[in-house]
Chains A and B, each alone.
Chain A
Amino acid sequence: MKRTGREPEICAFFNGLKFIMSLQLNAHDRSLLNGGEGAAAAFAMEILVAFAEAVGAGTLLDVSRAHIDGCLYHGQASLDFVERLVASGGRVRIPTTLNVGALDLIHPELMLMGADAQTPPRRLMKAHEELGCQPSFTCAPYQTLFRPSFGEQIAWGESNAIVFANSVIGARTNRYGDFIDLCCAITGRAPAWGLHLDENRHGDILFRLTGFADWLQPTDSLYVAIGLLIGARSGEHVPVIDGLPPPRDEDQLKALGAAAASSGAVGLFHAVGITPEAPTLADAFGHRAPAQTIEIGPDDVADALRHLSTVPDGSPLDAVCLGTPHFSREEWDRFLPILRQIAPRTGVPIYVNTGRATLRALEKDDLLRGTDAFNLVVVADTCTYLTAILKRLDGVVMTNSGKWAHYAPGNLGVQVAFGEMEDCVASAAAGRVVRATQ
C-alpha cells in the first residue's frame, strides 16, 4: 500500500460514525516519506506513519535518542527488515544504542550454540552497527554515556529501559519495540501520543504502603516486590507509590521498574518524594484524585516474594544468575567484596550479566582479578534468561532479579529461587538455597 502525504480527509463511514485520517505530516515528514532523503528513510517513514495512524496520533514529534530492541534474533523477518535498511543506505539520524543480542560477542566461548545457529543472530547485531547504532548491547542504556536527560523526548525499546527512562530520569518515551524503534531512529520522529505528552504522564492509580510500622528496610527484595505488585494491578495505567522508603541507589528503582514491566505493562511509575515528576502526591496525580487506591501491606510483599521462588529453601543449587537488568558499576562495587568475603568454592557458577562498557571499566581498574576461583562468569552483550549460556537447565537457579525469576522458568524451563544478593552468594558457597538475610 503506497501512502502519500495528505491533508486530513474523511476516509470512511460505518454505523453512522466518521473516521478521520487525523495524522498531519509536516514538509520534512513528507519529504522523508516520498524518498527525498533516501529509500531507507522512506521505508521507515511508511511504517512509522501506519503505526502513528493505528495509535491515533495527530502529528509526529522530534526524538533526540533511540534505543533499539531489535537485535535479539526472533526469526528471518528480524534480519530481513534490517538488511533492507542496510541495503538501501539506511543510517540512524539520532544517537542510538542497542539492546542485548542473542550472543555474547565478548565471550564467545560461553555460547552453547552450534556455529550455524549463531550466524543469523551475529549478523543481526552487526547489521545494526552498519546502520550507525552504537554497539552497546545492553538493556541498561541509562548506565552509559547515552543516558537521556529530564524532559527529553526519546524513542526507546526494552521494557525495563523504558520504565527507567520515564520514571527515574523523567525522559519521555512510549513502549516502543520491534521495527518501530528503528523506524524512529532512522527518521528522528515518533508519533505524538501517550507518554510523550504532559496530559498522559499523571498518575491514575494510588498504591499506598501501609502497616509496615518501623521495620520497612530498603532491602532489594522490597523494591522487587513492590514492582511486581504494581505491575500486576496497573494494566495500562500509570501507578503512583506512596510510602516507599528512599532507595539506597537507582539500582533499586531499576529493579522495581523491571519487575513492574515483567508482571505487567508499566511504562511509567511515580514514587512520591523520590521520582522527579512526583515531589508531592498532588504533583504525581496532576492535582486530580486517584481513580483507584490500593493498599499494599507486609503480607502482600511476603506473598509476592514467595511466589517468585518455585522451590523450597535447602534445594540443591546449579547456578546463580545476577544482573538482570545489567549490573551497574555500583552493583559490582557492592557484589565483589561480598564475593571475596564469602569466597564460594563449591563449583556453582555465578553468572553476572553486565554491559560491555561497564565490563571494560572493571577490567581497566583490575577489579575482577582472581574471581574465577569463585566461579564468577561474566556475561556481556546478552542475558542468561534469553539464550543458551547456562550449562544445566534441569535444576535450580538462584537470582536476585524479579525479572529473571519471572521469565526464566518459561523461557528456559529452570526452577528458580529468589533472594538477596548476599543470599545468592552464600547459597553458591553452600551448594543449596540458604538465606541469612530476611
Chain B
Amino acid sequence: MTRLGKAYAGGEARAAAIVLSEPLSFWGGIDIETGEIIDRSHPDLGKCVAGRILVMPGGRGSSSSSTVLAETIRRGTGPAGIVLARPDPILTVGAIVAQSLYALHCPIVVCAIDGITTGDQVRISPASSGAALIEVVSGSTTG
C-alpha cells in the first residue's frame, strides 16, 4: 500500500508501525528515558514508541510536548517517524527543533491512517513540493 501525505517535518524513516487508537500527549505521556507510554489513561499504556513509526489520529495536550518529543529524539528514545490523521503543530515544532539542533530526522506526515496496523513495516520518504510518500508493507512481526 502506498499513500501520498503532506510532510510537516521532513526526512526519511523506515521502521515497524505502532498504531495508537487515541491521541497521545508526549508531556506526561512518554517516559523520556525509554520511550514507553506512561499515561495511565491511555489504552496503549506500557507500549514503547522508541524507534517505531508512531501512527495515531493526532496529538493532544500541553505545549511542553514539543520539548519532550525533541528530547526523546535527541536521546534516541523517540519515534523514528510519526504519521498522523490530522496536523499537530506541537509535535511538528518538536521534530523541526530536533532536526535543526541535532540533524536527527523524525519525519511527521499527515495522511489517512486507516489500514495501517501495528507491526506493519512503514517507510516514509520525501516526495516533491512538501509531500511525503508512505509505503506500508504488512508486517510479520506483532507488537
Contact = CB atoms under 8 A, between A and B. Distances in A.
Given A74-B68, A177-B64, A179-B93, A55 B87 contact: yes
Interface centre among A12, A14, A55, A176 (most CB of B within 10 A): A12
B116 interface: no
A21 interface: yes
B9 A11 contact: no
Contacts of A80: 74, 101-102
A296 B97 CA distance: 43
Interface in A413-438: none
B6 A11 contact: yes
A10 B127 CA distance: 13
B93 A180 contact: yes
A54 B68 contact: no
A322 to B, nearest CB: 24
A242 interface: no
Given A56-B87, A77-B70, A180-B93, A1 B11 contact: yes
Contacts of B68: 74-75
B67 A19 contact: no
A12 B63 contact: no
Contacts of A10: 129
A54 B63 contact: no
A12 B7 CA distance: 10
A342 B71 CA distance: 48
B11 A14 contact: no
A181 B10 CA distance: 22
Given A51-B89, A80-B102, A81-B101, 6 more contacts: A12-B5, A50-B93, A74-B71, A77-B97, A84-B100, A177-B66
Interface of A: 1, 9-15, 19, 21, 43, 46-47, 50-51, 53-56, 69-70, 74-78, 80-81, 84, 157, 175-180, 265
30 contacts: A1-B10, A1-B99, A10-B129, A11-B130, A11-B131, A14-B3, A21-B129, A47-B100, A50-B8, A51-B89, A54-B87, A70-B67, A74-B64, A77-B67, A77-B97, A77-B98, A78-B71, A80-B74, A80-B101, A80-B102, A81-B97, A81-B101, A157-B63, A178-B90, A178-B94, A179-B66, A179-B93, A179-B94, A180-B63, A180-B93
Interface of B: 3-11, 32, 61-68, 70-71, 74, 87-90, 92-94, 96-102, 111-112, 127, 129-131
